[in-house]
Structure 1
């Protein structure tokens, strides 16, 4: 359908035309716009607004974010902060978006401001812990997660994140306790199940780790980390065929994940089957033609 908008210099729409406006209509609307009688532009009938129209940028941003469009949410959330720099929910959301996108440096000012505004907020402290972990500061991450858990001891995602941070520090007993509690609270949390399995596998408790990786995959069928960890576990158990099956399953459900192809190629190379390893790299190039890793691997595999 044809659609024309009257927008200002900040890309904000002030009127919607469902058919192209005439020159006379445009002139009238521009006069109203210039005279700052902008409220009249949106009314389908003559009238005077009793109070200024307002727009909730935060609601727009939250709607995009909750619908799974974080990048589209950012402009609205930033606009929220331009009107109120201390809007806690907007700070929290922007920090989470940048963290999820792997941009900890961009997340930091928003995360730290949220913590400064509400020093005991478990959500803000959890974000701070995630930020420190992303910047390879597990000790600082543990401190933040522990503060979050002081405020809310059974916050499942903070427990899972604390377990991951403990694991980075080599504190496997504490990691296991935190992750087991997280899994008790959220039995289908694929990330927590995977991390708990990894902690157990690091202690060579492979029989205990295996069902946890399988539960993680059952909860999220394309959980790449759990699939890869399960394949590694099979290799430790001298079960290369099971490892190959796990990785081939992973490629089927997550065809764009480079590391699954690389791990599968390594298994074939270890078994002396370089031709199948080359086939795997060619398959990767079909999905990611610009993969320098696959191109380099093919060249190396061509060598005797």
Structure 2
């Protein structure tokens, strides 16, 4: 999933950063040179095998647990990384890189409570907030339901006061992403209470209500957002989505046109426009919009499915079958590679 991919990307960035106070490994050290080279090539199993051979010869070899922990971490075997990195810190309590990797490994192995004290320690090493570390730490607080500390972490990440409306808004967005919907709604409402004209606060509430199929409330929030921020293409798109769900297709079409005029680079409005036009009985126009969306993103199964329906409405059986088959194939591929 996209969120998991984001987490891996963030952890990779953290791993690539220089940790203050952590000694730089001697890349010419003969004991680990080959294993490090294999890790750089992505050959983690081979690197681990070499390091285990060294361990069989000398289990107390200085730096070996650190190297093994790093190899397991890069491989994605976080449980084994935890064991090796704990041993690395027993061998060298000042191994700051091991502290950081151990915190990340705890988080990525589903143990956020154990990750928190280590990631809190990492934060003290930087004169200003390390954005990636703050993000992971904030997620750990969310998963342990420590929402005030999560808000403080995200406030530090975005350089805003923790009791401010933006801090509540940022935390609400992260909570919604993590599917903590009731708390996300509470925090978004708090952001609006603190600053009723805060951009994107009403938008987030609209998204929450739309997700919960509370369509009238969603419409009201998107309308409030557009009153504050009339140039927001995404707000027009989301409001159109809400109207389409209660079959107000003319209103939805009008709003989608505005969204596209403001931002012609997003596929979502074109896809929804195709769906709306098909519902209105205008399959030729629907085909035009959906083909434009496919030109931007040819691997979206939803677009192919809607295009197949539009072709079927036009009586173009061959094209309809081709698009519906493509949609099925792409959907199966997505299911196999979440």
Q: Do these two structures clear the TM 0.5 threshold for a shared fold by scoring above it?
A: yes
1:105-140 deviations in whole A, cap 9, x for unaligned?
A: 453223222222221123111111011111111111
Tell me, in whole angstroms, the C-alpha distance in 2 between the residues paired with 1:87 and 1:61: 21
Counting only pairs closer than 5 Å after superposition, residues 36-47 of structure 1 correspond to structure 2 as: none
1:104 to 178, 181, 188: 181
Contact 2:207–2:238 at 8 Å: present in 1 too? yes
Contact 1:148–1:158 at 8 Å: present in 2 too? yes
Alignment correspondent of 2:257: 180
Alignment correspondent of 2:312: 235
Alignment correspondent of 1:136: 213
Structure showing greater relative contact order (alpha-carbon pairs closer than 8 Å, 6 or more residues apart): 2
Is 1:60 aligned to residue 125 of structure 2? no
2:242 to 165, 184, 187: 165
Q: RMSD in angstroms over aligned alpha carbons? A: 3.7
TM-score under structure 2 length normalisation: 0.55
Partner secondary structure for residue 122 of structure 1? coil
Tell me, in whole angstroms, the C-alpha distance in 2 between the residues paired with 1:153 and 1:89: 20
Is 1:194 aligned to residue 271 of structure 2? yes
1:81 to 127, 135, 151: 151
Report runs of 4+ in structure 1 exceeding 6 Å deviation: 20-25
Contact 2:20–2:125 at 8 Å: present in 1 too? no
Alignment correspondent of 1:212: 289
In terms of Rg, which structure is larger? 1
1:249 to 1:94, Cα distance in 2 relative to 1, 3 A? farther
Structure holding more helix per residue: 2
1:185-224 deviations in whole A, cap 9, x for unaligned?
A: 1112111111111111111011111111111122222223
1:14 to 1:255, Cα distance in 2 relative to 1, 3 A? same
Aligned residue pair count? 220
1:66-117 deviations in whole A, cap 9, x for unaligned?
A: xxxxx78623786452466535444333433444566534532232222222
Q: Which runs of 5+ in 1 are unaligned?
A: 1-12, 30-40, 43-50, 65-70, 259-286, 289-304
Tell me, in whole angstroms, the C-alpha distance in 1 between the residues paired with 2:248 and 2:89: 72
Tell me, in whole angstroms, the C-alpha distance in 2 between the residues paired with 1:107 and 1:125: 13
Contact 1:80–1:87 at 8 Å: present in 2 too? no
Tell me, in whole angstroms, the C-alpha distance in 2 between the residues paired with 1:207 and 1:153: 31
Tell me, in whole angstroms, the C-alpha distance in 2 between the residues paired with 1:221 and 1:76: 38
1:56 to 1:175, Cα distance in 2 relative to 1, 3 A? same
Q: Which runs of 5+ in 2 are unaligned?
A: 1-18, 26-62, 67-87, 97-120, 154-160
